[in-house]
């Protein structure tokens, strides 16, 4: 298999932001494989389009598919066949915590689940290590010492370079950070949901990550596609909301209230020569406490459009105030 040729000026095209108070720089926009890395050709086209623009970070998890595991298998083949010689230019992450296999060890935060799942992910990805390994969700039934102690162990074994948590509250993040600090493995990063229609982390989590120097990469920045023009008139057939294999965005979530907000954001996007998707990305990056915006995409065009959000000026001043007025209603 031949190694691919990527754009020579890719690192001039991207903005890199420091991940908390760590040594790691992440691209302002990263690409995730939750839903759309099931077909090898399409996934490669999107990964190449992204890497050509300097997107060095690809985010995965044990259960991404469908079926669960498929996305890591696809990316494993692509890394081997097309990204040979580029491993040290890439940040590949994976996670464990959501249901992956039957029985009491197939999910949550036990040492048993996290170790077994990490080993499985490494085999699917055909990698010796992932750059970031996450506890995908908090587990009230498992001692925090056990969950984060396992992240520490995976880092010490060289199976992950950095530890992360996802979907943890501010208080749980503080606890995880304190324990990990005591073990000598810093908590690099948190991966929460954040977009114009869900701003819960602003009060709970961001003050904590900022104080503790933990990086933040936010998922579903376009509210899974709601923050685009596509749902304004109807639910198109080739959309996540109409895909029965994707139960996470249901037709009933496409409400008139959401449409109304998007319509009212349109003039602001137009004044900035942006699409709604681009405005949604730029709006997130206004906050320096956020390291990276983790987009999902179904097509190369969506990748290109979303990355091009970086070409616009930061959202500020009057635009920011008008957006605030729309979102707070
Ligand atoms: N840690 C966690 O618990 C967690 C949870 C969820 C996601 N994530 C991570 O975050 C990543 C992104 O999440 P997400 O897929 O929900 O992000 P998203 O960017 O909010 O949604 C992606 C979807 O939006 C639509 N879209 C994207 N760009 C568009 C554009 N320019 N114009 C029109 N539509 C556009 C596409 O939907 P259509 O298919 O309808 O075209 C695409 O599949 C995931 O891949 C995963 O890595 C993590």
Nearest-CA residue for atom 30 of ligand 1 = 302
pLDDT tier at 8 (50, 70, 90 boundaries)?
Answer: very high
pLDDT tens, 127-157? 999 999 999 999 999 999 999 999 999 999 9
Query: What is the distance in A from the centroid of ligand 1 to the CA of 222?
Result: 7
Element (H, E) at 206: helix 206-212
Distance 295 CA to ligand 1 centre (A): 5
What is the pLDDT at residue 205? 98
Confirm if 278 and 309 have CB atoms less than 8 A apart.
yes
Strands 16-18 and 25-27: antiparallel
Say if residue 316's pLDDT is above 70. yes
Note the pLDDT tens digit of each residue in 151-206. 999 999 999 999 999 999 999 999 999 999 999 999 999 999 999 999 999 999 99
| Residue having the nearest C-alpha atom to atom 45 of ligand 1 | 32
Residues of the chain with pLDDT > 90, as a percent, come to 96
CA of 73 to the centre of ligand 1 (A): 19
User: Going by CA atoms, what residue is nearest to atom 26 of ligand 1?
Assistant: 225
Average pLDDT over residues 115-120: 98
CA dist 267 and 72 (Å) reads 40
HEC string of 64-112? CCCCCCHHHHHHHHHHHHHCCCCHHHCEEEEEECCCCCCCCCCCCCCHH
Ligand 1 centroid – CA 278 distance (Å):
13
- pLDDT surpassing 70 at residue 59: yes
Q: Which two tokens stand for residue 77?
A: 């083949």
Q: Does ligand 1 lie within 6 Å of residue 34's CB atom?
A: yes
The pLDDT of residue 3 is 62
Cis bond before residue 66 (omega within 30° of 0): yes
Regarding the beta carbon of 219 and ligand 1, being less than 6 Å apart is answered yes
For ligand 1, atom 17, which residue shows the shortest CA distance?
Answer: 220
**pLDDT number for residue 295:** 98
- Tell me if 58 CB under 6 Å of ligand 1: no
Identify the band that residue 247 occupies on the pLDDT scale cut at 50, 70 and 90.
confident
Let me know: does 159 contact 92? Beta carbons within 8 Å.
no
pLDDT at 1: 52
Which domains are delineated in the chain? 10-222+287-313 (3.20.20.100)
Rounded Cα distance between 75 and 34, Å, is 12
What's the pLDDT tens digit per position in 149-159?
A: 999 999 999 99
Compute, in angstroms, the gap from residue 307 CA to the centroid of ligand 1.
13
96: left (phi over 0), alpha (psi -120 to 50) or beta: beta
């Amino acid at each position: 298999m031949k190694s691919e040729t990527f754009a020579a000026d890719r690192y001039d095209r991207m903005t890199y932001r420091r991940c908390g108070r760590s040594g790691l720089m992440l691209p302002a926009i990263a690409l995730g494989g939750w839903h759309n890395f099931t077909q090898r050709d399409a996934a490669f086209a999107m990964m190449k389009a992204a890497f050509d623009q300097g997107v060095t970070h690809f985010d995965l998890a044990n259960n991404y598919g469908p079926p669960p595991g498929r996305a890591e298998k696809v990316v494993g083949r692509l890394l081997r066949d097309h990204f040979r010689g580029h491993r040290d230019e890439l940040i590949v992450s994976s996670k464990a915590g959501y249901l992956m296999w039957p029985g009491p060890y197939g999910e949550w935060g036990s040492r048993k689940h996290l170790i077994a799942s990490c080993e499985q992910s490494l085999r699917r990805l055909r990698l010796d290590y992932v750059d970031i390994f996450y506890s995908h969700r908090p587990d009230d039934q498992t001692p925090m010492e056990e969950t984060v102690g396992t992240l520490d162990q995976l880092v010490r074994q060289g199976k992950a370079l950095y530890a992360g948590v996802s979907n943890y509250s501010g208080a749980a993040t503080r606890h995880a950070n304190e324990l990990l600090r005591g073990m000598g493995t810093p908590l690099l990063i948190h991966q929460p949901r954040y977009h114009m229609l869900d701003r819960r982390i602003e009060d709970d989590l961001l003050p904590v990550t900022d104080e503790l120097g933990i990086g933040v990469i936010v998922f579903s920045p376009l509210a899974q596609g709601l923050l685009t023009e596509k749902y304004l008139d109807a639910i198109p057939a080739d959309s996540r909301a109409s895909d029965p294999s994707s139960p996470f965005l249901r037709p009933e979530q496409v409400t008139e209230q959401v449409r109304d907000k998007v319509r009212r954001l349109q003039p602001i996007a137009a004044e900035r020569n942006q699409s709604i998707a681009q405005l949604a990305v730029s709006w997130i990056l206004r906050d320096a406490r956020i390291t990276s915006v983790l987009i999902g995409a179904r097509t190369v065009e969506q990748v290109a459009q979303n990355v091009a959000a970086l070409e616009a000026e930061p959202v500020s001043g009057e635009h920011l105030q008008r957006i605030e007025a729309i979102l707070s209603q």
